[in-house]
Amino acid sequence: MKYRTLGRTGVQVSTLALGAMNFGAIGRTTQEEATAIVDAALDAGINVIDTADMYGQGESEEMVGRAISGRRDNLILATKANMPMGEELNHQGSSRRWLTMELDNSLRRLGVDHVDLYQIHRWDPTTSDEETLSALTDLQRAGKIRYFGSSTFPAYRVVQAQWASREYRLSRYVTEQPSYSILQRGIETHVLPVTQEYGMGVLAWSPLASGWLSGAIREGREIATSRSGLMPARFDTTIPVNRAKMEAVEQLAGLADQAGLTLIQLALGFVTAHPGVTSAIIGPRTLQHLHSQTAAADTVLSSDILDAIDAIVAPGTDLAPDEKVDTPPALLDPSLRRR
């Protein structure tokens, strides 16, 4: 396992991070299975575990807490807040009221007195940067969080938040967690140049493109992955964007074979090759998944292979742009772009 500095924090983190979204109901993973995955991840040298309050409505945090009991000090523990937690109107968002309340809930579920990285899961257009950053700064000063970051923020919101932290003399986001894979390279155009400019650590989620780059999805095979059952439209190969993904996967699989690599090694090696990326977050549902992904920990792709990937999916290109989750609200709600 390789290690890199998380932005400018001085904290050393593994180039692969363990994502816990599949712990519990989402991935149908039991506590015993989750603990075994955490054990194996730590044995492989992973020292970052990333979860969120809304994964299973708190279930993932509870399972992570049990799995890390007695060894918390050796881990970089990250969680997130902002998504709805139940039906109460104010149990969501990035207000001081909610973040203060929900962090305590997360700490209780995790069984710890602080988290190393607290992330705002999505940009909240109803809450000012000053409100959110001042709350996070106070929580940091109280010792409940060590650092805080953003997740899936559009580039212009990353810039705005950095400006606000300076304008109001508050602590700043030190990390960003964007979606990034060979099939979804759009962040190379805007987000990664911005995070590099501000010296932010980047924890990339979905480096296997929701399973498209796992090796389980190939031409002529029935697509029967866990994720395809949850989001069938994203795997329907009669839809043009999914057809384009399948064609790219076939070319990438051939490239991996020629290089003596698995498709997973090619995919994870690509993400961690970018100088703006600190770690790739893997989200195994089983021990077998974990082992196939940690096998990529030492993968270093040559310039020739990276050039060949560029020829298959051009830099800065999202093969499925409609799947982006950092779209400005005005593009989704017509009322916001009408006078």
What is the rounded end-to-end Cα distance, in angstroms, of the chain? 54
| Residue 276 near residue 158, CB atoms below 8 Å | no
55 is catalytic: yes
Helix 59-67 / helix 31-43 crossing angle, nearest 10 deg: 50
In DSSP notation, 53-106 reads TTTTTTHHHHHHHHHTTT-GGGSEEEEEE-S--SS-TTSSSS-HHHHHHHHHHH
Q: Which residue, 33, 28, 32, is CA-closest to 56?
A: 28
The span from the CA of 168 to the CA of 163, in Å, is 9
Radius of gyration of the chain (CA): 19
Distance between CA atoms of residues 175 and 288, nearest Å = 30
- CA-angle at 202, arms to 44 and 24, nearest 5°: 55
Q: Compute the distance between CA of residue 326 and CA of residue 232 in angstroms, rounded to an integer.
A: 21
Given a contact cutoff of 8 angstroms between Cβ atoms, the answer to whether 168 and 134 are in contact is yes
Catalytic residue among 3, 55, 118, 198: 55
* Strand 3-5 relative to strand 12-14, pairing: antiparallel
Distance CA 307, CA 291 (A): 27
Q: Which residues are catalytic?
A: 55
